[in-house]
Structure 1
C-alpha cells in the first residue's frame, strides 16, 4: 500500500489537484489530506474536489486532523496524532489512523481502537531535519507487538522501500517524494513498483 500525504506548499509542478490526479493515476492507494493551516470552511471544498478526482480510481481519501470535514464529505478515514487520539473519543464511521513515534504509542493506539498506525520516522528526512531516524528495528519491534495495519513513514524511497517492507510493514507513506517531484505520476509509479 502506498499512501500520499499532501503538502500544497512544496509542490514544484502544477497544483494540489493535478499532483493528486497524477499520483492516483500512478498507483497511490490512499491520499491523506494534511493541510493543517486550513479552517473547516477552507478545507471542505478542497476535500470535496479531491474526492471527485479520485472517485473512480480505487483510492481512499483520509482527512488529517479535521473530523468535521471527514464526516461532512464521508471520507474513507480520519488520521490523527497520538496525543489527540488518546485525549478524545473519536466516533467515526470509517478508518481511524494514528501517528505513533514509539512502540508504547503503537500498542496503546491499537488497544484504543485504531485501525492502522503510521510509524515514523524510519530514515532521515528533510521533513524532520536534525531529528535522529528510528530505523528498521523500530519497525520490526512494532510489527512484533501489534496486529493492525502498520505503515512506515520518513525518508522512504525506491532504494530503501524493500528493506522496510521486509521489516514487516503493510505499506509506506510519503510526502515530498511525490508532492515535490516535477513528475508526480512517474515518481508514484517508481515507488509503487519498488514495493510490489
Structure 2
C-alpha cells in the first residue's frame, strides 16, 4: 500500500490538486490530506476537489487533523496524532488512523480503536531535519506487537522500500518523494511498481 501525505508548500511542479491527480494516475492507494495551516473554510474546496479526483479510482481519501472536514466531505478516513487521539476519544464512521512514535503508543493506539498506525521516521528526511532516524528495527518492533496495519514513513524511496516492507509493514507513506518531485506521476509509478514487485516475491 502506498500512501501520499500532502504538503502543498513543497510542490515544484503544478499545484496540490494536480500533484494528487498525477499520484492517483501513477497508482497511489491512499491520500492523506494534511494541510494543517489552512482553516476549515480554506481547506473545504480543496478537499472537495481531491475527493472528486479520488472517487471512482479505488483511492482512499483520509483527512488529517480536521474531523469536521472529514465528516463534511465523507472522507474514507480521519487521521490524528497519538496525544489528541487519547485525549479526545474520536469516533469516526470510517478508518481511524493514528501517528505514533513508540512501541507503547502503538499498542495503546490499537487497544483504543485505531484501524491503522503511521510511524517513523525510518530514514533521514528533510521533513525531520536534525532528528535521528529510527531505522527498520523500530518498525519491526511495532509490527511484531500489533495486529493492525503499520504504515512506515520517513525518507522512503524506490531504493530502500523493500527493506522497509521486510519489517512486516503493510505499506509506506511518502511526502516529499512525490509532492516535491519534478514529475509526480513518474515518481509514484516507480515506487508503486517496486511495492508491487516486492509483494509478489514475498
TM-score grouping bracket, smaller chain normalisation: over 0.9
Structure 1 residues without counterparts, runs of 5 or longer: none
SS at match of 1:145: coil
Residue 184 (structure 1) aligns with: 184
Instruction: Give me the whole-angstrom Cα distance separating, in 2, the residues matched to 1:59 and 1:149.
Output: 17
Instruction: Give me the whole-angstrom Cα distance separating, in 2, the residues matched to 1:79 and 1:54.
Output: 17
Alignment of 1:115-130 (within 5 A): 115-130=115-130
Question: How many pairs were matched up?
Answer: 196
SS at match of 1:13: coil
Instruction: Give me the whole-angstrom Cα distance separating, in 2, the residues matched to 1:80 and 1:134.
Output: 21
Instruction: Give me the whole-angstrom Cα distance separating, in 2, the residues matched to 1:43 and 1:96.
Output: 20
**Any idea what the Cα deviations from partners look like across 1:51-72, whole Å, max 9, x if unmatched?**
0011121100000000000001
Alignment of 1:68-87 (within 5 A): 68-87=68-87
Residue 41 (structure 1) aligns with: 41
Root-mean-square deviation over aligned CA pairs: 0.5
SS at match of 1:12: coil
Q: TM-score, normalised by structure 2?
A: 0.96
Instruction: Give me the whole-angstrom Cα distance separating, in 1, the residues matched to 2:32 and 2:119.
Output: 15
Alignment of 1:43-62 (within 5 A): 43-62=43-62
Residue 100 (structure 2) aligns with: 100
Q: TM-score, normalised by structure 1?
A: 0.99
**Any idea what the Cα deviations from partners look like across 1:78-119, whole Å, max 9, x if unmatched?**
000011001002111000000011100100000000000001
Runs of 4+ in 1 over 6 A off after TM superposition: none
Query: Is 1:17 the equivalent of 2:17?
Result: yes
Instruction: Give me the whole-angstrom Cα distance separating, in 1, the residues matched to 2:144 and 2:58.
Output: 30
Residue 111 (structure 1) aligns with: 111
Instruction: Give me the whole-angstrom Cα distance separating, in 2, the residues matched to 1:79 and 1:91.
Output: 11
**Any idea what the Cα deviations from partners look like across 1:16-53, whole Å, max 9, x if unmatched?**
11100000000000000000001111111111110001
Structure 2 residues without counterparts, runs of 5 or longer: 197-202
